[in-house]
Amino acid sequence: MLVVAMKRVLIAGMRKDRKRIVEYLQRKGNLQVKTVEENTEDESGIFKKIDLSGEYTMLRKNTDLAEAALAVLNTYAEPDKNGGGMFGGRSPLTVSEYEERIKKTDSVIEKVYEINSLSRRIDEINSEIPKLEQQLEALRPWSGFGEGLDFKGTKKTRAYVGTLPNEQTEEGIYDQLSSFAPQIEGIDVQIVSASTEQTCVMIVCLKKDASALEEALRRMGFARPSVSGGVPSEMEKETAGRLEACKKDLEAVKEKIASFKDSRDDIKFSIDCCTMRAEKYSVYCELEQSDKVFIVEGYATVKDASRIEERLSADFDCIVELYDIEEDEEAPVVLKNNWFGAPVEGVVESYSMPGKKDFDPSFIAAVFYYFLFGMMLSDAAYGIIMIIGCALVLRNKNIETGMRKTITMFMYCGVGTTFWGILFGSWFGDLPLTVVKTFFDPNASFSLALWVEPTAKPMAVLGIAFLIGVIHILFGLAASA
């Protein structure tokens, strides 16, 4: 069949009715407005376009923030038991219910900003906790040191506080110092702690020998502590307190976010609301407007165009004109198929939409899609599971249109899978034969195939697949001719 015939729709209305007309068209969703590039500019200067990009940007920003807040809420709050999951869809609202809930949007957006602020606070705490833990780990080897880690010595001495590589003894350190700096006589070595990775030490010498000792320590791999400041035991106590406070603060922030769980539905509504308002403002930017009149031009199917003309002419003081699509005019393409072909329209659209006067290949694509999918999987038990599972999902009346088509497509694929599974005798593979051999008769041998068993006659099945592939190609060529 051919694609759905389209009409170009021109609507000229009073500017005071602009909001209601645009909202009506938006609710129906049956008119695709022409973009700025497609519209011709008014040479008289009476009509002009209004720049509402600021409002549009703000609404898109609120939408993004609301989606981020919802993701945060789903992370830290109890899951929404009434959400329905990925197959839940959205509950329909009447116009009065929508208008009543839209009044709460501003307060909901304030909650969105607060949730995102709390989320940023969680990120800050999560980045601070590892730093404090690392600082505690660095302070533990120095817990028995009574001086500050930045201790430099007294009036006549110079002290070096730091670490040497590997585990070392005082005698070993003295031997190395005497080897690297034999001219130094008065040296005091104090080992604070030692492990296989490092030895924490304080080495003191007279100020006159400081340069020589520093050079010797450099050759020995001496390094200053990774932390500095006061007495390690006091710093450790302070750091542990800060770490504990951060963890308590983290739990408090998470609990605060979880307290917004009852606002989850309102946030979802605000996402839809801001998205719809942003789309409405994008349409406003496409309208040519004077002081009292506005013009909107777009495309609709012949059936929808007649409905638009009838409804708008009856309810508003406006003019609606319908035009045939010209040969060189780029109009949108709409596919419309029956219950069998409609589920694969998404597959057709994912490749390339047919032209406005081309053949709609959805039905033929559906026949071969279900047929070939079933042939590839070809297990009756899996097919029955697919049919039952998809049928249960489709019982939800609120499931989105696109998702409904996809689930319906896989249900029909399940029918094809069951069909080929019965022909090939495959029920969870060879499970029936395996069960009989295991529990009843080890020598049993039978086939449930109604036509041919692939493992027994693989070349026959290959020939069948080759023949179906040739038929598939020929149908594709005929459809495109």
What is the average per-residue pLDDT within 357-370? 90
**Residue 41 pLDDT:** 52
Specify the higher pLDDT residue, 34 or 198. Answer: 198
**Residue 38 pLDDT:** 43
**Residue 50 pLDDT:** 82
pLDDT at residue 390 tops 90: yes
pLDDT at residue 213 tops 60: yes
The separation between the first and the last C-alpha atoms of the chain, rounded to the nearest angstrom, is 13
Buried b / exposed e across 288-321, counting CB within 10 Å, b at 16+? bbeeebbbbbbbbbeebbeebbeebeeebebebe
pTM of structure: 0.75
CB 319 within 8 A of CB 342: no
pLDDT at residue 127 tops 50: yes
Helices (H), 225-361: 232-258, 264-286, 302-315, 345-351
pLDDT at residue 410 tops 80: yes
What is the average per-residue pLDDT within 291-314? 92
- What percentage of residues in the chain have a pLDDT greater than 70? 95
The conformation of residue 208, written as its DSSP 8-state character, comes to: G
Tell me how far apart the alpha carbons of residues 281 and 96 are, in angstroms, rounded to a whole number: 21
**Residue 39 pLDDT:** 46
**Residue 1 pLDDT:** 61
pLDDT at residue 445 tops 90: no
Strands 6-14 and 318-324: antiparallel
Backbone angles phi, psi at 328, to 5 degrees: -95, 10
Q: How far is CA 32 from the centre of its chain?
A: 27
